[in-house]
Structure 1
Amino acid sequence: MSRTEMGITPMEALCLQLLNSERYDYRGDGQLIEDQLYQPGWLEALLKRWDLTLEHASPQEGLPILSVLRSRLRPLVECLNQGQDLSEKDLALLNDALNAVPRRRLVVHNGKMYTLQEEPLRKDWLWVEAEIIASFVAMLEHDPLRIKICENPHCRWIYYDESPNHTRRWCEDTCANMMRVRRFREKKRAHDFSPPLAH
């Protein structure tokens, strides 16, 4: 399974794709090595993939907005990953962004049945921001304890744990195997350098 295909619903994966757009040297020292958000074409591909067609803004105008949103969402994930509830201030942040988008409700007839649909009045960057937050809230609704950060401290990849007993600890097998090898080597070094027992 690739890092961008976590097997959950598309709108849930939308927020994960933004959160994981910062790439760290997970095999080395954990330094930031790439910010995909600022790579040519990445943002346009994100919008296309999730069918977020802007009508009143250009893609480049969204770069600072999404950068700030990413920096605000990660601490919320870190809070959840530590088993803590989001604060009232955190919830207010989410609610303010969701309510910043004016919407209208429409009755739609598709030839067989009538349905009530809701749509934004403007498909601008406030709308994109709200859609990303809505995908984050969808994960909260399902199970906030499944929102995790890879236990490789140099990775920082955020994923949704779909394992039956919630025991997944790493983003993928690469990090899992690497951390097992590191622990084995650390134990071996500790054993090799342990002082001999006194006679």
Structure 2
Amino acid sequence: MSESNPYMMVGERLCMDFINTVSWRESVDKSRDWFTSYAKLIDWSIYAQLLTEEEAKVLHQKAEKNPAAAAQVLEQTFQFREGLYRIFKRISKQQFPSQGDIEQFNTFISQYYQNLQLTQQKDQFRLGFHYTTEDLDMMLPPILQSAVDLLVSRNEWKRVKQCEGDPCGWLFYDTSRNRSRRWCSMADCGNRAKARRFYQKEK
């Protein structure tokens, strides 16, 4: 992680950055989950601009008073994230997601879409999720919406890719004009691959 991008937001879509909160996904012994606590989930959500500092403060206080509820939200977060990872990993390989993962995804849609509301902003209307700091999982609905927007845009699926760096496993949305992006980051996996090729050439 760099100081300018401590959470390595390189996925180009919110749902991709959420999925990428596990480092070295494809490694059995090096894999590391960033969400080691509910507090870490809050910290990431601030950086991802899903929460304000004031909202985060209230959620911290509520979690301290009800640690069991916070732990339940964290477990739900894990299930949601891993389901998204399996769905978009298959899409990155030009495969349809499994029916089981779609069914699990639909349970989250059923849970959160009941909170959609139409609100007026000046001279126009906006459809969005209604949630408050009473909800410990208030950071999850925007991530769900990001995933829905990508899933229903079939012509965008070819831009969903998995980093070629082994054992990185991170996913990203390729915004390059000719869809040539191969790495989660040129400064990370891209440089390692470059160094590896140079070493092999010298050897």
Q: Same fold (TM over 0.5)?
A: yes
In 1, are the aligned partners of 2:10 and 2:17 still within 8 Å (CA)? no
Q: What whole-Å deviation, never above 9, does each CA across 1:65-108 have from its counterpart, x for those lacking one?
A: 11122222211122112111224443332222112122253452
- The structure whose Rg is larger is 1
Unaligned runs of 5+ in 2: 64-69
In 2, are the aligned partners of 1:98 and 1:133 still within 8 Å (CA)? yes
Distance 2:38 2:110 in 1: 31
Change over 3 Å in CA distance of 1:31–1:148 after alignment to 2: farther
Which of 153, 156, 162 matches 1:149? 162
Change over 3 Å in CA distance of 1:167–1:42 after alignment to 2: same
Which of 149, 162, 168 matches 2:181? 168
Which amino acid letter does the alignment assign opposite residue 170 of structure 2? Answer: W
Which amino acid letter does the alignment assign opposite residue 182 of structure 1? Answer: R
Aligned positions, number: 181
Which amino acid letter does the alignment assign opposite residue 21 of structure 1? Answer: T
1:18 aligns with 2:18: yes
Q: CA deviation at 1:184?
A: 4.6
Distance 1:30 1:144 in 2: 28
Residue 74 of structure 1 is matched in structure 2 by 85
1:34 aligns with 2:32: yes
Distance 1:63 1:185 in 2: 42
Q: What whole-Å deviation, never above 9, does each CA across 1:105-125 have from its counterpart, x for those lacking one?
A: 345263xx2525444367635
In 1, are the aligned partners of 2:119 and 2:125 still within 8 Å (CA)? yes
- Determine helix, strand or coil for the equivalent of 1:105: strand
Distance 2:25 2:102 in 1: 32
Change over 3 Å in CA distance of 1:186–1:98 after alignment to 2: same
Residue 196 of structure 1 is matched in structure 2 by none
Distance 2:199 2:111 in 1: 52
1:84 aligns with 2:82: no
Which of 117, 134, 143 matches 1:105? 117
In 1, are the aligned partners of 2:83 and 2:101 still within 8 Å (CA)? no
Change over 3 Å in CA distance of 1:104–1:73 after alignment to 2: closer
Which amino acid letter does the alignment assign opposite residue 115 of structure 1? Answer: F
Residue 63 of structure 1 is matched in structure 2 by 74
Residue 115 of structure 1 is matched in structure 2 by 125
Change over 3 Å in CA distance of 1:66–1:171 after alignment to 2: same
In 2, are the aligned partners of 1:22 and 1:36 still within 8 Å (CA)? yes
Distance 1:82 1:7 in 2: 16
Which amino acid letter does the alignment assign opposite residue 4 of structure 1? Answer: M
Residue 50 of structure 1 is matched in structure 2 by 50
In 1, are the aligned partners of 2:21 and 2:33 still within 8 Å (CA)? yes
1:179 aligns with 2:177: no
Which amino acid letter does the alignment assign opposite residue 42 of structure 1? Answer: K
Question: Is 92-101 or 125-134 further displaced after alignment?
Answer: 125-134
Q: CA RMSD in A?
A: 3.5
Normalized against structure 1, the TM-score is what?
Answer: 0.70
Normalized against structure 2, the TM-score is what?
Answer: 0.69
Percentage identity across paired residues of the two chains: 21
Change over 3 Å in CA distance of 1:136–1:182 after alignment to 2: same
